[in-house]
Structure 1
Amino acid sequence: MRLYVGLWWMCSWLLACASSQNVTGETQNYGLKGNWVWVRGPWDQVEPSRDVDEVIDQLCPAIMRLPLVQQGEYGQEYCGALYLLDGSYYASHPSPLGAMVRVAGRERRQCKPPRYVEDSRGQPTPLADFHSHPWGNSPMSQQDRRGPNQLWSIRIQFDTRCRVMKLIPYLAEERPGELYERQGKLWKLIGIIKPEDKESGIVTAIDG
């Protein structure tokens, strides 16, 4: 009987530990306002700049130092925001808040892009959201490209190989959305989203 109770207690303890590793709660740097995520800035792992691309280029190396970020189907996504304050661009703290989702037959901890940015120094102007994918060779997904899922004028995404992609959806304009890949210090246009495809996020590739 003692052996049974001991095994039951150990199994319960192991399950509790395993469950606690899957739970990401609110902190002083990110949390929830209703169904929306808020994040705090600035994040001291990313230097501010008057050139937003200099901030973007720092994001992936900084995010790759966070827990579970490179663990594939067992990995954790992180979401944050880029914002303008007093003439400089800043990155917010990254947030893991979100839900477990199944993508291409695999489950992963998916973060939710932030709707609000808080900075005690003033009123930030959000420009873009960013998020990581926990495996390499991962393009921006159709779900990430869909018009209804865009919060800001730019979306940045990168994978564990630090392949960085940028979407400019142009939702309020008749012009096509544009999908870019960062190559060195330049952005290469790799696809467009025709006005009739903005709802679905379907990309038309650019030849060459």
Structure 2
Amino acid sequence: MPREAEHYGFTTSASRRVWVRGPWEAIVPSNDIDEVIDQLCPAIMKLPGAMDRDYGQEYCGALYTLGDGVYHASFPSPLGPRRPVGPSKRKTCYAPMSIRDERGRASVIADYHSHPWFPSPMSEEDRRANTQRYFIRIQFDARCIIHKLVPYANEPRPGELYVRVDKQWRLVGHILPDDKATGRITTVTE
């Protein structure tokens, strides 16, 4: 199980900026980032509170490369704002701002986070332009329904929201340029 100070922490005591260590040994690296993504949810769901619904714990981490075409997952971190104990449909952890991998300089491609209940589509806050740090955002719920957002945050084209079905990404919505600030989805119909 990941441990604070060894595998994740705040960059300073007064900061909300989280660092995480990589690579996480529970996830097999791959030249295909989707193979790494497919391993995340089963590994996270083994962690304390990951499936405890309203009383559960959200975990955040990152997907990265060292520039060699191989993708890795960082350790997950539960660090986030302190919330009172009790039921809440609002769980939060801070997406990591940096990866510490002693093998080299990490280039972060995506952040990932879990939700401890089902069903749980990607939240409006998770879709808003001002919360995007990386090229991709991955979110999954307690039944391992995986969502991927390609926000195109600083581009004039629409963001794209996908769901993982049978090891394929199915486009389910766009976030039009005028809606990026709010994260409003325009549903895609087949």
Counterparts of 1:89 and 1:115, CA distance in 2: 17
Max radius of gyration: which structure? 1
Structure with the higher fraction of residues in helix conformation: 1
Structure 1 position 89, deviation (Å): 0.1
Structure 1 position 101, deviation (Å): 5.3
- Deviations, residues 175-207 of structure 1 (Å, cap 9, x unaligned): 100000000111000000000010110100001
Structure 1 position 106, deviation (Å): 2.3
Counterparts of 1:162 and 1:100, CA distance in 2: 25
Structure 1 position 137, deviation (Å): 1.0
Superposition map of 1:132-143 within 5 A: 132-143=114-125
- Deviations, residues 73-101 of structure 1 (Å, cap 9, x unaligned): 10000000000122200000000000245
Q: 1:89 aligns with which of 71, 76, 90?
A: 71
For 2:144, what is the secondary structure of its paired residue? coil
For 2:18, what is the secondary structure of its paired residue? strand
Look up the equivalent residue of 2:57 and give its one-letter code. Answer: Q
Q: TM-score, normalised by structure 1?
A: 0.84
Counterparts of 1:64 and 1:81, CA distance in 2: 16
Question: Does structure 2 conserve the Cα–Cα contact (< 8 Å) formed by 1:26 and 1:32?
Answer: no
Aligned to 2:20: 39
Superposition map of 1:8-19 within 5 A: none
Counterparts of 2:163 and 2:83, CA distance in 1: 26
Question: For structure 1, which segment, 105-114 or 171-180, has the greater mean C-alpha deviation from structure 2 after superposition?
Answer: 105-114
Counterparts of 1:56 and 1:109, CA distance in 2: 21
Residue 28 (str. 1) matches residue 6 (str. 2): yes
Q: Which ranges of structure 1 fall in alignment gaps of 5 or more residues?
A: 1-24
For 1:54, what is the secondary structure of its paired residue? helix
Q: 2:47 aligns with which of 54, 57, 66?
A: 66
Show structure 1 runs of 4+ deviating over 6 A: none
Give aligned pairs, total. Answer: 182
Q: TM-score, normalised by structure 2?
A: 0.92
Q: 1:129 aligns with which of 111, 117, 122?
A: 111
| Relative contact order, higher structure (CA 8 A, sep 6+) | 2
Question: Does structure 2 conserve the Cα–Cα contact (< 8 Å) formed by 1:100 and 1:109?
Answer: no
Q: What is the percent sequence identity of the aligned residues? A: 54
Look up the equivalent residue of 2:140 and give its one-letter code. Answer: F
Counterparts of 1:80 and 1:59, CA distance in 2: 10
Counterparts of 1:132 and 1:114, CA distance in 2: 14
